[in-house]
Structure 1
């Protein structure tokens, strides 16, 4: 998301953009994108972009004040920059991945917990699958429920329409898009934020695929990074 005055990617030179946290998903995505487009980051070259890591709420405030030129953020903050900050979408990350599919959040438990409490993990995964199905089936009603939950959690409601608009930019589901995790790791290595990392064994999708099979849903792949079934 950027100021409306920025018409093309080439106009990012000399601008300041924000990400939520150093080396997090969005930080890696932005810096890799900039490298692919021939920019330097936080340097002194002519074609340089300054990237700062800061809290999402602060990014919104600074964008509204004109102190930053844009940001690469997760939802609902991306939508908030548009609706509350008057920004526009310059690059949609979906265009950077095969079929527009990539993971932003994976559900994790420790190996120890998985081994000791498999039924608890199964119950958690089952609930997650049902929740994703419900959001897909009834996005409007789900947006209202999310608004109520977020208001209770944060003590303050999001601006009207933000949650519903943000959900349109997401694909709630259970597929970890494992290949994209490998891709993201490679991107982080490319820009110097991660050393060469072996991801083999990071996934155990056996319980997930068991749940999916029991519900007549298509099973998912670990892209060779772990275990799909037992």
Structure 2
């Protein structure tokens, strides 16, 4: 029996109004997560907060931005479905699932944002040296059907391991939010974790975890938008896309300043105060790019099919939007 695509109604954590000046008749709602992998969104939010907004420079004077922080991709997709979100930084798998669930109508991907930064970490005391050593082990992933969860399941299946779904199997998957993985891993109640930065670095530095498999070229974050917004306000959407491309270029040219803005932004959004050294460590595993890795996105379709999250492979070409 095929599993159903899961779009849990997770609450929006924080709603930020980040605009200066007179009240505007036009508002663009843009989403992001407080992660190193969403650097463009976190930096843009922080710059807006400091009164030197980046995206605002590209918009008409009567247009403002509301930055909305989410805990997980499915909640952002639900906001797109409800018309409450115009554009968002998001993992590729929720974007693809949103495309599929809406019959290819509601979601479009405009650009890439970040690759890399994710992988499988293990407890070194367990002596795990090959995929077969994961038999009988518990692996944590951030959320069922999220980007890292699908990658983990597909990797296990490709290596001949059966996932325990309540009727026997080789490996148990334990869906656990990123911040909660650390204490569970420390207590020894989780043998491994497939997660993303900065949580990868936190597991290494605070729990002694070791990298077993690193997704160097994996698509981690993309910039997606509500199709209706693109059709109704194409000029504003174009301006935001250009702002994203220019910000990505700036990030690559100014890594130290970018890292400090990410650290401040994450703290202001979530309250988590990551050491600058941890942010720098996570940064070296990331590749910030506005180019869309279509091959990587298409692989997610294959992986979702192999995991049973979709019933058939589909053509996602219409997902990629061009003005």
Shorter-normalised TM range: 0.7 to 0.9
Aligned to 2:168: 44
Partner Cα separation in structure 1 for residue 272 and residue 193 of structure 2: 23
Question: CA 1:168/1:205 → structure 2, altered by over 3 Å: closer, same or farther?
Answer: farther
Equivalent of 1:111, from 210, 221, 227?
227
Is 1:175 aligned with 2:291?
yes
Aligned to 2:321: 204
Equivalent of 2:212, from 71, 74, 90?
90
Is 1:74 aligned with 2:190?
no
Deviation track 1:51-104 (CA, whole Å, cap 9, x = no partner) reads 11121111111012111011111111111111121101000123xxxxxx3312
After superposition, where does 1:1-230 map in structure 2 within 5 Å?
1-5=121-125, 6-9=127-130, 10-42=132-164, 44-45=168-169, 48-94=170-216, 101-196=217-312, 197-206=314-323
SS at match of 1:92: strand
Q: What runs of 5+ residues in structure 1 fail to find an aligned partner?
A: 95-100, 207-230
C-alpha RMSD over aligned residues: 1.5
SS at match of 1:73: strand
Aligned to 2:29: none
Partner Cα separation in structure 2 for residue 120 and residue 111 of structure 1: 13
Aligned length: 198
Deviation track 1:138-171 (CA, whole Å, cap 9, x = no partner) reads 2222111111111111223113412111111111
SS at match of 1:157: coil
SS at match of 2:140: strand
Partner Cα separation in structure 2 for residue 19 and residue 59 of structure 1: 8
Greater fraction helix: 1
Partner Cα separation in structure 1 for residue 242 and residue 295 of structure 2: 23
Q: What runs of 5+ residues in structure 2 fail to find an aligned partner?
A: 1-120
Q: Normalising by structure 1, what TM-score?
A: 0.81
SS at match of 1:104: strand
Deviation track 1:100-153 (CA, whole Å, cap 9, x = no partner) reads x33122211111100111122122212211222122112222111111111111
SS at match of 1:171: strand
Question: CA 1:160/1:67 → structure 2, altered by over 3 Å: closer, same or farther?
Answer: farther
Partner Cα separation in structure 2 for residue 123 and residue 85 of structure 1: 43
Partner Cα separation in structure 2 for residue 119 and residue 60 of structure 1: 43
The answer to which structure, 1 or 2, has the higher relative contact order (CA under 8 A, 6+ apart) is 2
SS at match of 1:52: strand
Deviating more after overlay: 152-161 vs 12-21: 152-161
4+ runs deviating over 6 angstroms: none
Partner Cα separation in structure 2 for residue 52 and residue 73 of structure 1: 12
Q: Normalising by structure 2, what TM-score?
A: 0.58
